[in-house]
Structure 1
């Protein structure tokens, strides 16, 4: 099976999940289609979370498991970088956790998992970031490293805020203080 993106886009969530699961099992997703497939499935999960938020309750557990498999496979195929996969995971988590209750199941709805994803992806320590007095004086590589940290922190902190309120993991608290100073 070589999935046609237009046909996949026309499927409902359950049929899309089945088709993508089959395509993953059969290694049938073309390298040129990975990014589009991930985008399509991200949109379907987001759409489903809106329906669940409004009362049409279903379970997103299978959707999140497939999403993780899609990102892992796209990374293994060399299409998405580990950093891009982490950023996508944190962005989706921030959207979902404003609509759905947190879980403690290792999924993108699990605050502990969000913390581990964040800490594993950050390219700099909070102490190193805090020690920079003016990022404008840094070279481009250092500025990009700080910007990467900010792009990871914003969705992660939004997700964690939606689940924990005032209770933030001690390992993340230093980043909350540094965030406003990042480019």
Structure 2
């Protein structure tokens, strides 16, 4: 049985090695403890990013995927939260380290694909709803806010991937972004 205190004491490589090997098992930690593991791992990745080798990144990416997927299975957050966290982490990491097409979090093209795939509605619908967002049902406003939350880091990633000439639908999303609630 692994305690959260043991995990906190590990350096990033040791923590990533354990997690990528499937330890601890989902049942060994509670729901809130899995959230803490994701937050610990994310903070360690951000802190040590510049010093990681290509091999380290492969290990760290597997550990991150395991921690997040296990936290979802434990019921602490959902797929939307996973996407939100990944977009933000990727955007922040790419401010510190060069892109790496072998690691999804470090590949702005792949992360832009994640953004497009996970946006909660087509851009045309978002544009139409944004014009009258104050009259919408709460659930529709929430969908627009989710889109904006995804776009904030996602558009930065898109510009890293494509430069100033964004392809569609990214250009349209960039145009509608300021009008989202």
Q: Whole-Å Cα distance in 2 between the matches of residues 8 and 82 of structure 1?
A: 24
- More helix as a share of residues: 2
Q: Kindly state the Cα deviation for residue 23 of structure 1 after the two structures are TM-superposed.
A: 4.8
- The equivalent residue for 2:168 is 170
What whole-Å deviation, never above 9, does each CA across 1:124-173 have from its counterpart, x for those lacking one? Answer: 11100111313112121111110000001101112232344224343322
Change in Cα spacing, 1:32 to 1:180, as seen in structure 2 (3 Å) is same
Which deviates further from its counterpart, 56-65 or 83-92? Answer: 56-65
Q: Mind listing any 5+ residue stretches in structure 2 that lack a counterpart?
A: none
| TM-score, structure 2 normalization | 0.87
Question: Any conservation in 2 of the 1:17–1:66 contact (CA below 8 Å)?
Answer: yes
**Residues 144 and 180, structure 2, Cα contact 8 Å, conserved in 1:** yes
Which of 91, 94, 115 aligns to 1:94? It is 91
TM-score by length of 1: 0.86
Give the superposition deviation at 1:107. Answer: 1.1
Secondary structure, in 3 states, of the residue corresponding to 2:104?
coil
Summarize the Cα distance change of 1:8–1:19 in structure 2 as closer, same or farther, 3 Å threshold: same
- From 68, 87, 105, the counterpart of 2:102: 105
Cross-structure match for 2:6: 7
Unaligned runs of 5+ in 1: none
